[in-house]
Structure 1
Amino acid sequence: MTATDRSIELITAAAQAAADKLAHDIIAYDVSDVLSITDAFLLASAPNDRQVKAIVDEVEERLLKELGAKPVRREGERDGRWVLLDYVDIVVHVQHSEERVFYALERLWKDCPEIGLPEDALATRGKGAEYAARQAAEADGGPS
């Protein structure tokens, strides 16, 4: 079993929306072979709670406007550390960078096939580590 065309369409639009709001490390997995409740997961992260919320809002707005899709469930928004948007066909996880490292969802789904994403989304890979290194250098008094 593989993700449906609709799921791929939703994942692609969500990934582009997240990239447009400067999400870090966007990746998508086809989980249809291991889960019966959804076809695909999209993971994205941001270095602060405000940006997590901005990414979530953009994903939700874009999927509604472009594809007429509304999430059936939205969780975690109050804290802004890990927000989950459940569209049944796909689930979007937007995490604060610290939660992304701690929970390491990629490790759980690494055996599932990756779904191809738009170039803008692929370009976000490694941005979380770059940001963390810059923050560490600034904390040590190095150049910003």
Structure 2
Amino acid sequence: MTSELSVTEAIQIAAQAADAKGGSELIALDVSQPLPFVDAFLIVTGRNERNVIAIAGEVEDKLNEAGVKTKRREGRAGGRWVLLDFGSVVVHVFHDEERSYYDLERLWKDCPQIEITLPEPVSITQ
């Protein structure tokens, strides 16, 4: 990573940012064994194109604020599959249809998952 953050810390920041914008089905995978150029993937689903773009924007903003600079960004205009490359961490934000079609979890099924800790949802009781 280009900052003082570990890969796990960067994944946590990205996951919390995605969750804050309504991202769902978050899965983080340790892909460091099969891939020499990246350590982890975070895969997120958005409800629609606008949501995918909002999630990707929030993830990028929060990681950049934490000192992790974006190396490459693809697919933001279409809002169907946005790929954010931060070097050691790559974030894939999918529209639900593309997530099902490309099924990255199946492709990388032999890679261990990285635990993600998200804030508990706030419940409003009357």
Q: State the TM-score, normalized to the length of structure 2.
A: 0.88
Q: Which amino acid aligns with 1:56?
A: A
> Cα offset for 1:70?
1.6
User: Does residue 61 of the first structure (1) align with residue 61 of the second (2)?
Assistant: yes
Aligned residue number for residue 102 of structure 1 = 101
Specify the alignment match of 2:11 in structure 1: 11
RMSD, matched Cα: 1.5
Q: Distance in 2 between matches of 1:119 and 1:10?
A: 13
- For 2:69 and 2:49, how far apart are their aligned partners in 1? 22
Give SS of 1:119's match.
coil
Distance 2:73 2:107 in 1: 22
* Alignment partners' CA distance in 2, 1:60 and 1:111: 27
Q: Which has the larger strand fraction?
A: 2
Q: Which runs of 5+ in 1 are unaligned?
A: 124-144
Instruction: Tell me how far apart the structure 2 counterparts of residues 45 and 119 of structure 1 sit (CA, whole Å).
Output: 15
Question: For this pair of structures, how many residues does the alignment match?
Answer: 117
Q: Distance in 2 between matches of 1:109 and 1:15?
A: 19
CA contact (8 A) 2:41 2:91 kept: yes
Task: Please tell me the residue identity of whatever aligns with 2:74.
Answer: E
Residue in structure 2 matched with residue 83 of structure 1 by the alignment: 82
SS of 2:82's equivalent? strand
Q: Secondary structure at the match of 2:27?
A: strand
Larger helix proportion of the pair:
1
Say whether the 8 Å CA contact 2:73–2:85 is kept in structure 1: yes
Bigger CA radius of gyration:
1
- Aligned-pair identity in percent equals 50
- Name the structure 2 match of 1:140: none
CA shift, 1:64, in A, is 1.3
Cα shift at 1:89 = 0.7
How far has the Cα of 1:6 moved from its partner?
1.3
Runs (4 or more) in structure 1 with deviation over 2 Å come to none
What is the TM-score normalised by the length of structure 1? 0.78
Which residue of the partner structure matches residue 116 of structure 1? 115
- Render the CA deviation track for 1:55-77: whole Å, top value 9, x for unaligned: 00100111111x21121000011
Q: Aligned AA for 2:46? A: A
Equivalents in 2 of 1:68, 1:20: separation in Å?
A: 19
* 1:35 CA drift (Å): 0.3
